[in-house]
Amino acid sequence: MTPTTHAASIASAPAFPLEQWYVAGFSWELKSAPVARTLLGHPVVLFRTADGKVAALEDRCCHRELPLSCGTVEDRGLRCGYHGLLFDHGGRCLEVPGQERIPPKACVKSFVLRERDQILWIWMGATPDSVPAQEPPAYEVHGDPAYRFGGDVYHYDAPYQLIHDNLLDLSHLGYVHLKTIGGNASVHMNAELKLSQQGDSVKVVRWMPDSEPPPTYSAAWPFQGRIDRWQEVEFHPSHVRIWTGAMDRGTDRLDNPQRQGFHMRGFHGVTPETETSAHYFWTIATNPHPQMQDPTQLVIDQTAATFEEDKVVIEAQFRNQQRFGARPVVDIHVDAGPNRARRVIERLRTAGARAGEGASA
Ligand code: FES
Ligand SMILES: [Fe+2]
């Protein structure tokens, strides 16, 4: 195999593709208080106004630069916590306490934020006048009555692409996640893998027919014995969808899109915070079996434990990359999916660099 290095190779390209919808948060995070979050290197404040509109503003008051996230959400917008300037969802100043005239420059930058299927999507763009050509992606699982779900937001002290690598290579389950969704390491490492690509989307499919159910599966579903197990990982530049599951051995085809059995459907929004840190927005959905106690909370708890295990590995991996500096690494068979996704990101970053040049010309 050819040695490769993961060091950035395009000096002028942005660290991440910017012409993308990225996950900024989940709907249930926006309650009465504003949420501060640095996204793609920009400090942003997220909030919801009384009429239900969601908003994303630069987290800097234009008066004396207090983070607006220190302020309070009111019916009409977000009030700064220092001298009380009030801003609407578009960043326009509506009120200066004690002064009638609103200075024309009293506004803060706003970002396009959309709420869809309980996911908040932000468009930051490569240039100031960049606008999305289409609405953010749907995620129907969150509204599908066959499924129940929960999720969380994790902060990573590691670059976002290490999370992509991890999600696109599920062979690590047999080593990292033995207590939950793991199973036999050699079954994982020898599973047949099908890799395909459509535009910017990369798909990795792995089948593990006739295998032992791992602990989470057995606890959630009344399997009779051995199982036919699948993993379908669908990478997009800003998020990954993973459909895993299993059915009793020999009961259906593993390529039947309507196949029954135990399902776990994962949504994984991977949004860079900075070049060396990331936000990981995840949900896990499952289809409770009618004769079993609802396993949703168990699946959520075990998924959380699983993702904590990933976080430990990925952050240790990044610390070591920093300790040793950019040195060649060796590829093995499990890297086909991650490497393909890295090529997509590289191409989009290069395209972003060209868009930026166009804007500054
Ligand atoms: S710093 Fe925000 S109102 Fe003064
Ligand atoms: Fe993992």
CATH code for the domain in which residue 176 is found: 3.90.380.10
Same domain, 176 and 260: yes
What is the domain extent for residue 345?
A: 140-350
pLDDT, one tens digit for every residue, the chain (361 residues): 444 444 444 346 788 999 999 999 999 999 999 999 999 999 999 999 988 999 999 999 999 999 999 999 999 999 999 999 999 999 999 999 999 999 999 999 999 999 999 999 999 999 989 999 999 999 999 999 999 999 999 999 999 999 999 999 988 888 898 777 666 667 766 777 899 999 999 999 999 999 999 888 998 999 999 999 999 999 999 999 999 999 999 999 999 999 999 999 999 999 999 999 999 999 999 999 998 999 999 999 999 999 999 999 999 999 999 999 989 999 998 899 999 999 999 999 988 766 655 444 3
Flag whether 133 is in a domain.
Answer: no
Predicted pLDDT at 180: 72
Predicted pLDDT at 214: 87
Same domain, 95 and 180: no
Same domain, 340 and 197: yes
Predicted pLDDT at 357: 53
Predicted pLDDT at 343: 97
The strand pair at 78-79 and 72-73 is best described as antiparallel
40: left (phi over 0), alpha (psi -120 to 50) or beta: left
DSSP state of 358: H
Atom 1 in ligand 1: residue holding the nearest Cα:
64
Same domain, 118 and 194: no
Domain count, the chain: 2
Same domain, 333 and 224: yes
Domain boundary (123, 154, 169) is at 123
Same domain, 293 and 210: yes
Same domain, 146 and 116: no
Flag whether 59 is in a domain.
Answer: yes
Same domain, 81 and 53: yes
* Residue 315, C-beta contacts closer than 8 angstroms, at least 6 positions apart: 156, 157, 158
Contact 130, 39 (CB under 8 A): no
Q: What are the pocket residues of ligand 1 if the criterion is a CB atom closer than 6 Å to any ligand atom?
A: 61, 63-64, 66, 80, 82-85
Flag whether 274 is in a domain.
Answer: yes
Flag whether 100 is in a domain.
Answer: yes
Flag whether 118 is in a domain.
Answer: yes
Predicted pLDDT at 185: 66
Flag whether 14 is in a domain.
Answer: no
Domain boundary (74, 89, 123) is at 123
Same domain, 343 and 256: yes
Predicted pLDDT at 2: 41
Flag whether 12 is in a domain.
Answer: no
Same domain, 288 and 219: yes
| Ion ligand 2: residue ranges with CB closer than 5 A | 310
Same domain, 98 and 171: no
CA of 54 to the centre of ligand 1 (A): 22
Q: Which of 253, 246, 331, 258 is nearest to 6 (CA)?
A: 331
Same domain, 227 and 300: yes
Predicted pLDDT at 182: 65
Contact 69, 102 (CB under 8 A): no
- Tell me the pLDDT tens digit for each residue of 257-295: 999 999 999 999 999 999 999 999 999 999 999 989 999
* Residue 199, C-beta contacts closer than 8 angstroms, at least 6 positions apart: none
Domain boundary (123, 151, 172) is at 123
Atom 3 in ligand 1: residue holding the nearest Cα:
83
Which atom of ligand 1 is the closest one to the Cα of 61? 2
CA of 95 to the centre of ligand 1 (A): 12
Domain harbouring 95, CATH code:
2.102.10.10
Flag whether 198 is in a domain.
Answer: yes
CA of 174 to the centre of ligand 2 (A): 9
Write down the residue that tokens 């709420």 correspond to. 115
Q: Which ligand is nearest to the CA of 240?
A: 2
